[in-house]
């Protein structure tokens, strides 16, 4: 009598944010190359993977792709609540960050 064997296969989860960062950085690399602007890998300077250092004639510029925090795929705009302003109150008075409303 043969026993049925079950195979568990782990699949690697695709990180959509990493894909988006790589696509955007490829566009930036291409644009820099097409315009004759030199750049280097930021890892050589101690920066995180994916960061590039653009060698502009006046100063180096760091370009680092950053995506929203875990659980989010979009950044949210910060909007000051206008009702506070209409009532003559300062929304920033009681908080360092101010009174905000997420869209």
Task: Give residue 5's pLDDT.
Answer: 75
Q: 87 in helix, strand or coil? A: coil
User: In the 8-state DSSP scheme, what is residue 93?
Assistant: T
CA contacts within 13 A on the Cβ side of 11? 3
pTM above 0.75, yes or no: no
Degrees (nearest 5) of the Cα angle 23, 29, 31? 105
Which has the minimum average pLDDT: 9-23, 62-76, 82-96? 82-96
50-84 residue pLDDT tens = 999 999 999 999 999 999 998 899 998 877 666 66
CB 33 within 8 A of CB 25: no
Average of pLDDT values for 23-44?
A: 96
Task: Give residue 86's pLDDT.
Answer: 64
């Amino acid at each position: 009598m043969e026993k049925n064997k079950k195979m568990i296969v782990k699949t690697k989860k695709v990180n959509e944010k990493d894909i988006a960062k790589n696509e955007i950085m490829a566009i930036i690399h291409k644009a820099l190359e097409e315009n004759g602007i030199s750049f280097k890998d930021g890892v050589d300077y101690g920066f995180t993977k994916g960061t590039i250092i653009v060698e502009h004639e006046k100063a180096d510029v760091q370009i680092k792709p950053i995506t929203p925090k875990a659980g989010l795929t979009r950044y949210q705009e910060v909007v000051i609540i206008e009702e506070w302003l209409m009532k003559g109150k300062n929304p920033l008075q009681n908080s360092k960050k101010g009174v905000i409303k997420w869209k």
